[in-house]
Amino acid sequence: MNSSSNVFWFRNDLRLADNPALKALLRRDQSLVPVFIYAPEEEAPWSQGSASRWWLHQSLRSLEASLERIGSRLVIRRGPTLESLRALVKETGATRVAWNRRYEPAVIARDQRIEESLRAEGIEVDSFNGALLHEPWTVQNRSGKPFQVFTPFWKSCLAKPDPDDALPAPRKLNPPPSWPKGLNLEALELEPRIPWAAGLKAAWQPGEAGARAAMTRFLGEAFDAYAAQRNRPDVAGTSRLSPHLHFGELSPRQVWHGLRRVAAKRQLPTARWRGSQYLTEIGWREFAHHLLFHFPHTPTEPLRAPFRQFRWRANAAWLEAWQRGKTGYPIVDAGMRELWTTGWMHNRVRMIVASFLVKDLLISWTEGARWFWDTLVDADLAQNTLGWQWTAGCGADAAPYFRVFNPVSQGEKFDPQGDYVRRWCPELARMPDKWTHQPWSAPTSVLAEAGVELGRDYPEPIVSHAIAREVALEAFRRIQAKRAP
C-alpha cells in the first residue's frame, strides 16, 4: 500500500497536454493512478450515443498508449463512479483525487455528491477548468445575470484577460508500487458490431495525436480561407476539430494560443486573429456551455416558454425519411447520409437539415436533437441543444421564426457545382449542375440521360417546400403572438 498516491480521474479530457488537474497532482511528486470510469447510467438520459461510444473507444486506446510511453497506465473501471473511486482509494492508499470539471446538469449533480462523500471520508478533492476558456459563472451581463445573446456574451469574454498559456504534457508519471486491477478496454463494449463503424474509421483519427495533427493542418492550410469557405460543404474549409474538443483531446486554450502563434508568425495584427471568424466559433462553443449551465432544462424543453405550446407533428414516415436521407431534397439527403457514414456533418448543412425538419416537416427539434445525439461523433449536449433551439426559434439568440432555409437555394449557393450532393447521393452523379439540387424540375430527357427515375432511383420530394414554408410561418406566427410583451 502506498500512502502517498494520488488518483487522477479522466473524463472528457482525454489528453496529457494542457491538463490542469493532472498538472496539479504532479506538483506533489507523488505516485499517480490514472483512472477512467465508465458509468453511462449516471448521465442518463444523455449517456453517450453510438457514434460517441465508438470515438471514446478509439480515444481511450490512444490514451492508454500515451500513458504507457511515460511509464504509466490507465486503470479502467465500470461504475457506479463513487463506489469505484472509493475502492481505488482504498486499494492504493490515495489521499487525493482530482478531475477536470464538466458542465452537463446530471454530471454536475453527480460530481457534487462524489466530492461531498469523499471529503467526508477524509479524502482531499480538487477539480479544475480544463474544458473552457471561461467557466459559465464567470461571465455575466451588467445586471449580474447570464447572457442570452451571443454577441455581448463574446464581447464580454474577449474583454477578459487572455487565457493562460497551455500546459506542456508530462514527460513521466510516477507509478504506484503496485497497480490496482482494471478492465480491458474491450470489456466496456463501446464499439458497435455493425459495418457502419467502417465509415467512422475511414474518416477520423481519434486521440490526442490526431487532434494535434488536425489543428496543425487547419492552422497551416485552411485558416486563411476559413471565412470564405466555412459555409462550403463541397470543400475542406473547416477545422473538423469539434470531436477532438468534445472529448478533450484538445483544449480551447490550445486552439487560442495556436491561433496566436500563427498570427505572430505571419505578422497579423492582434485584432485580426482575435476577431477571426474561427475564434468566434470557439466563442459559440463557450456560449453553448454558458446557456446549458444556467438553463439546465433546455436539452428537453424550450428556453422560450411559449414554445411549450407549439403543436409539432408526429409523422414517423417523414422522420425516418429525414433520418435516412430520403426526403427528395438533395442537399438535405446528402447531409443526412454524410452523418450516417462518417458521424459528422458540415455545419452549414446541419442548419439546412435542421430547418427542414422543424420548419418544412414541423417535427419537433427534440427528435432531431436525439438523432444527432446518437449519430454524431462530436455529440455535445450544450452545442446540440443550442443548435437545435436556435433553428427552431425557441432558444437563446434564436433564428427569427420567419427564417426558413430553402434547401434548393442553399444547395445552389453553397454547393454550386453539386459536388457535395454527388458524393453522398451517387444516384444523382450524372445530373447536370443546373438540376442537381432540384431534380424534380429537370426535363424528362435530362433525367433519362442521367439515369434517374424519380420515385425509383431517387425519391420525389416528400413535401413541397413552398407550401410547407407558408404552413410553418403561420404556425410560428401564432406562437410569437403568445409571447409576453
Query: Residue 236 burial (CB < 10 Å; 0-12/13-18/19+)?
Result: middle
pLDDT of amino acid 397: 85
The H or E element spanning position 6 is strand 6-10
| 360: DSSP letter | I
Nearest Cα residue to 238 out of 286, 290, 275, 281:
281
| Widest distance between CA atoms in the chain | 81
Dist CA 34 CA 260 (whole Å): 32
The catalytic residues are 281, 284, 312, 347, 365, 388
The order of strands in the sheet holding 32-38 is 75-78, 32-38, 6-10, 96-100, 124-128
pLDDT of amino acid 312: 96
CB 425 within 8 A of CB 333: yes
Strand, coil or helix: what is 458? strand
Number of C-beta neighbours around residue 468 at 10 A = 18
pLDDT of amino acid 367: 98
Number of C-beta neighbours around residue 464 at 10 A = 12
DSSP labels, 66-120: HHHHTT---EEEES-HHHHHHHHHHHHT--EEEEE----HHHHHHHHHHHHHHHH
Dist CA 259 CA 265 (whole Å): 10
Dist CA 350 CA 244 (whole Å): 19
Dist CA 485 CA 481 (whole Å): 9
pLDDT of amino acid 480: 77
What domains can be seen in the chain, in order of their start residue? 6-127 (3.40.50.620), 132-166+208-294 (1.25.40.80), 305-481 (1.10.579.10)
| 187: DSSP letter | G
Number of C-beta neighbours around residue 362 at 10 A = 20
| Assessment of whether the complete model's pTM goes beyond 0.75 | yes
Backbone angles phi, psi at 32, to 5 degrees: -130, 135
* Tens digit of each residue's pLDDT, the chain (485 residues): 445 789 999 999 999 999 999 999 997 778 999 999 999 999 999 999 999 999 999 999 999 999 999 999 999 999 999 999 999 999 999 999 999 999 999 999 999 999 999 999 999 999 999 999 999 999 999 999 999 999 999 999 999 999 999 999 999 999 999 999 999 999 999 998 777 788 999 999 999 999 999 999 999 887 889 989 999 999 999 999 999 999 999 999 999 999 999 999 988 888 889 999 999 999 999 999 999 999 999 999 999 998 999 999 999 999 999 999 999 999 999 999 999 999 999 999 999 999 999 999 999 999 999 999 999 999 999 999 999 999 999 999 877 778 899 999 999 999 999 999 999 999 999 999 999 999 999 999 999 999 999 999 999 999 999 999 999 999 998 887 765 43
| 366 torsion bin: left (phi>0), alpha (psi -120 to 50), beta (else) | alpha
pLDDT of amino acid 1: 41
pLDDT of amino acid 482: 65
pLDDT of amino acid 435: 98
Inter-axis angle of helices 365-375 and 381-392, nearest 10: 150
pLDDT of amino acid 155: 97
Contacts of 152 (CB under 8 A, 6+ apart): 141
Dist CA 407 CA 29 (whole Å): 58
Dist CA 28 CA 106 (whole Å): 31
Backbone angles phi, psi at 181, to 5 degrees: -70, 150
Q: Would you say how long the chain is, in residues?
A: 485
Dist CA 415 CA 425 (whole Å): 13
